[in-house]
Amino acid sequence: MVYLFKIALNPLIAHVKAGTILALSLLIAAYSITSVPAYATQSISKESALNAPFKVAQIVYIERPPFYYTKTSSESDGIIIQLLNQIAEQQNITLAYQTAPDWASVVHHLKGKVNSCFAGSYKVKERKKWFQFTDAIYLEKPYVIATHKKLANYFKRPPTVTELLSSDFIMGHQQGFSYGDKIDRSLTRYKTPVAGLSYLTHSFGDNIQRHVFKLISRQRIDYYLINPVELSWILKKNPKLKYQISVLKFANPPDPNARHLMCSKDVDKRFISFMNASIKQLKKSSAYSTVLDNFNHSY
């Protein structure tokens, strides 16, 4: 029997720091994470198809639907979470999910001596210095451009990556996030004008709207790079946004990014090997495509 459960972290410290980039000031929250609770010491069941005497790492995630989010007070959900649940079911193991308030908290937590992995990260050069990675559990589609009509009318056709990032238009850049090695290098190379964004949301009844789209519609920033599956999720929850933003594709879209479990250096390497074998097995099963199909909606 597989038991899946979620425990939320209680931040010990919270402070807000104001920062200004290109005359745009946004608030970014920084937190510290509590130490790993005792439940992280559970071992893999003896009935596991890939039996090995090591500890199962806890899974940490931030609120970023549709990849990972809290559905109810006791249930985690999202593409990556559902794929991990399928692995837990197939291998007869227990997975514990733990929420973190933001990306900075995740990085700080995983740099400590903890038995934890983040649910789905890009495997970029800077992160490989600090963390272990499993094989890719999910391959995204190439980024698209969420923007306002003024920028869309300026280009009149899908821009190249170089044309957009070397322009004077201001990109909304998620604080602490990577856009993949190619985009990250291009941002530095072209000295792209960026406005630093924190991952804030506005709630409207049962819907949650990313604040970045409000900034775009008001032309406080000009564009934002977003994964199609994430954009589809947001537009499905907030249909009115379709009339407030425009969506462009790249003429030469960058290679899609893969998401991996990003683990502390203290996580047992046998667990990494176990997850690699489990991911390979999952991808060969119908369960894998079923989960992906549940989230593949056109925008």
Q: pLDDT tens digits for 36-48?
A: 332 333 334 434 4
Range of the domain at 227: 144-248
User: Which residues in 41-68 are b (16+ Cβ under 10 Å) and which e?
Assistant: ebebeeebebeeebebbbbbbbbbbbbb
Look up the CATH number of the domain holding residue 240. Answer: 3.40.190.10
Q: Which of 81, 97, 94 is nearest to 3 (CA)?
A: 94
Is residue 15 domain-shared with residue 163, that is, in the same domain? no
Closest alpha carbon to 122 in 82, 76, 180: 180
- The pLDDT confidence band at residue 169, using thresholds 50, 70 and 90, is very high
The number of distinct structural domains making up the chain is 2
Q: Does residue 291 share a domain with residue 204?
A: no
Q: How far apart are CA 177 and CA 102, in angstroms?
A: 11
Whether 65 maps to a domain, the answer reads: yes
The first and second tokens of residue 165, run together, are 């990032």
- Which residues on neighbouring strands pair with residue 26, listed in sequence order? 19
Other CB atoms within a 10 A radius of the CB of residue 154 amount to: 12
Do both 14 and 113 map to the same domain?
yes
Is residue 207, in this structure, part of any structural domain at all?
A: yes
Q: For residue 50, tell me if it sits in a domain.
A: yes
Q: Are residues 125 and 267 in the same domain?
A: yes
The reply to whether 131 and 264 lie within a common domain is yes
Does residue 253 fall inside a structural domain? no
Q: Of all residues in the chain, what percent carry a pLDDT higher than 90?
A: 64
Least confident of 104-118, 208-222, 251-265: 208-222
In a domain, 286, yes or no: yes
Q: Which of 123-132, 196-205, 251-260 has the lowest mean pLDDT?
A: 196-205
Q: Average pLDDT, stretch 51-74? A: 89
Mean pLDDT of 159-164: 96
Q: Give how far Cα 155 sits from Cα of 18, 163, 213, Å.
A: 33, 9, 20
